[in-house]
A and B are shown apart, each in its own frame.
Chain A
Amino acid sequence: MKKTITFILTILASVALAQDYAFKVLASKGNNEIKANGAWMPLKTGASLRTGDELKLASNGYIGLVHKKGQPLEIKTPGSYPVVQLESQVNSGTGILSKYADFILSNATPEAKKNRLSATGAVDRGEYHAIKIALPEHAGIYHNVASVGWSGDNIKSPFIVTVLNMFDEELALYETEQTSIQLDLNDAKFAKENAVLIEVKSKGDQNQKSKRHMIKKLAAADQAGIQKSLTEINLVVQDETALNSLILASFYEQNKLYIDAIGAYEDAIRLAPDVSAYQESYTDFLMRNGLR
């Protein structure tokens, strides 16, 4: 009897919990956030929003929501929105005849006067960045030590390398005369962050700067998976040779760990500087992945 009651209560509780949301996120674009239990965190598609939560739409962002009753709701204007406010905006639907009347009347009124010169015959192209970082815009990392290099036309040293978190807060600032830097993500400054953003600027010319690139630490489960595969590979590639580094580079590339792959290629070139094949492979790798 006790077991039956417990079972029924558990089912009821899970049903109650399952319904204990106001909205779910259908689609999200931009650095949107949700405040739940007092803390802001990045918004994920499919996440549940509860009545006490708050939503923040970033500029140029978009959020599509579905109410628990199935009605959709879009948010396109940047700003913060308490979920309770969003609930009041959900349309409970109008009758068909009133929709028909609205439809007839809306077509009877003239369209708002449009600006006849609002369209141009030109296109926009991507914002110009004088400095190009040799990393994908979003890259995962296994070893947590990133070798970040950059290049550009007529760029002037010294360079300022800024490391930020996902909320645009500065974590570290480095100055260097070189066109590369080693970042240790195990450093205390970055230890709490799952992902960091890197930006490179010329100290002398503020107009010379790079796009922001994200480096993301692998989740624990993925780390374990990579570790397991690496253990198997290391049985074969025990010695530190240029060829073994190339094999490792290929493994990292397959697993989309481009930063580790760059490190492995650089090791291969360092170990066999006279062998042009490694440099060519590295160049092919950079071109293949749009890093050059």
Chain B
Amino acid sequence: MRKFWLDCVLATAFVFLAFWGLAGLTKLRVFNAFDSLGEALSDVELTDYVFSALRDDPKVDTSIVLVNIGMLSRRQIAEQVTIISKYKPRVIGIDSFFDCRGRNYDTLNCPALTDELGNLMFGDAIRSAGNVVLVTKLLRNDSTLADNEFDTLRRSDPIFRDGALAEGFANLETDAAFQDDVKTCRNFNPVMVVSDSAHRAFAVELALQYDSAKTNKFLRRGNYLEVINFRGNVFDVMGTTNYPQMFYTLDVDDVYNENFVSEMIKDKIVIFGYLGNFLGDPSWADKFYTPLNRKMAGKANPDMFGAVVHANVISMILNEDYVEQMPLWQQVSMAVLICLLNVALFALINTYLPLYYDGITKLLQLIQLLAYSVLMVMIFHWYTFKLNITLTLAAVALVGDVYEVYMSVIKNLYIKILGKFSLTPKPADVLMSETPEKQ
């Protein structure tokens, strides 16, 4: 029995060695030029399927209103803020920067300064509203800092931020190298430290102003990174997601013409942000790929504007709909345990049903792949827990064939090598005992 389990452990170790070798080969990127499948799948997580199509349909969140600022000037946004503020929202967030982007502070390099009256109007509108939260951006001037360390903040000009209630960083966790790069967003950082000072995310700041109790409960989780439990999109007329309209939305003209009812704004969170030049505009500016995208892999249209991503974060916090996820050590442990049990089972099949080994093991692998993916979906549905089973599925997919390689090649090679060096006990010499003479 002990030998059996030792054998199983060694075979399991070999499966993971093979897995590591294959993973290493892919890192050499030797086949990358032809690896379109790998490229397409590199940005996919299995739980994206859950978010997109395999969970209970979330309900609309009516506590958040999104207002499109389109390509309005500061003066025009000031008018929007003034109009909306009349209807007494609880808090207003403006998902846009109002600065000179690091250029010289003159009208030549910063044309927005030309409209002095408009800037004054906007600053005044923010001050008069009294409940405006502006965005900041985490920056790294010192290139020796690690990827997750920042030392500077980009902020709007003092004329605007001095009248604001608060600021929050708008950075979202993606693989983008720059603002207009392809951006896939699944997670966000609730709090980041900049030069020894803690700063909250824009969405967290808005949630805090709306409901401090729930937000503080969320912050007490103390996670560096949180999975966004996406609720849905707005004005998704292109049908890129399965949840196309989950928040109140107003277009530019709707605000100017006050084409809405006042109850929709009162005591709500209002987020001003870019939602296209007009609602339904298929613009890609400030648009992210999210797990809600119907097209999982390959070339797809980005599906969600940044302001809507922030709305989803706020909705998650206020509805206390957090997503727990499996830490890495649990993922590895689960993969090792499942692999070990599979190896043990396959060893028994190999011993007692050798003729049917191939058929049975392939069938078992297929059943397990299906079962684990169902388990992933059900566990997310019951516990909002992100069961990351990628390693487990990879181990199950490899175990059948790799175990055969282990038994037929590795183990036999091992026995042969040991035999060559006379390390294996040879069969005992037949002792010719002296037959006692017959007396």
Contacts and interface: CB of A to CB of B under 8 A. Distances in A.
A99 B54 CA distance: 6
Interface stretch (B23-31, B246-254, B392-400): B246-254
Interface stretch (A6-14, A43-51, A78-86, A262-270): A43-51
Nearest to A46: B264
B283 interface: no
A66 interface: yes
A149 interface: no
A47 B79 CA distance: 23
B57 interface: yes
B301 to A, nearest CB: 13
Interface centre among A48, A62, A71, A72 (most CB of B within 10 A): A72
Given A44-B259, A64-B249, A27 B235 contact: yes
Contacts of B235: 27, 29, 62, 64
Contacts of B121: 254
What class of interface size applies to chain A in its complex with B? 20 to 34
A201 interface: no
B89 interface: no
Contacts of B59: 69-71
Interface in A44-78: 44-48, 62, 64, 66, 69-72, 74, 76
A47 B56 contact: no
B229 to A, nearest CB: 16
Contact of A70 (B60, B250, B258): B60
Contacts of A45: 248-250, 254, 259-261, 264
Given A26-B60, A66-B60, A74 B261 contact: no
B32 interface: no
A46 B257 contact: no
A99 B242 CA distance: 13
B232 A27 contact: no
A145 B80 CA distance: 26
A232 to B, nearest CB: 17
Contacts of B248: 26-27, 45-46
Interface in A84-134: 91, 93, 96-97, 99-100, 103
Given A24-B62, A71-B59, A93-B56, A138 B253 contact: yes
Interface stretch (B205-213, B305-313, B373-381): B373-381
B245 A216 contact: no
A97 B381 CA distance: 10
Contacts of A42: 259
B263 interface: yes
A256 interface: yes
Interface string A17-56: 0000000101111000000000000101111100000000
Task: Choose among A27, A29, A71 the residue with the greatest number of B CB atoms under 10 Å from its CB.
Answer: A27
Interface of A: 24, 26-29, 42, 44-48, 62, 64, 66, 69-72, 74, 76, 91, 93, 96-97, 99-100, 103, 138, 216, 219, 254, 256
18 contacts: A26-B248, A27-B235, A27-B279, A44-B260, A44-B261, A47-B261, A69-B59, A71-B60, A72-B60, A72-B243, A91-B57, A96-B54, A99-B53, A99-B54, A103-B49, A103-B53, A254-B117, A256-B256
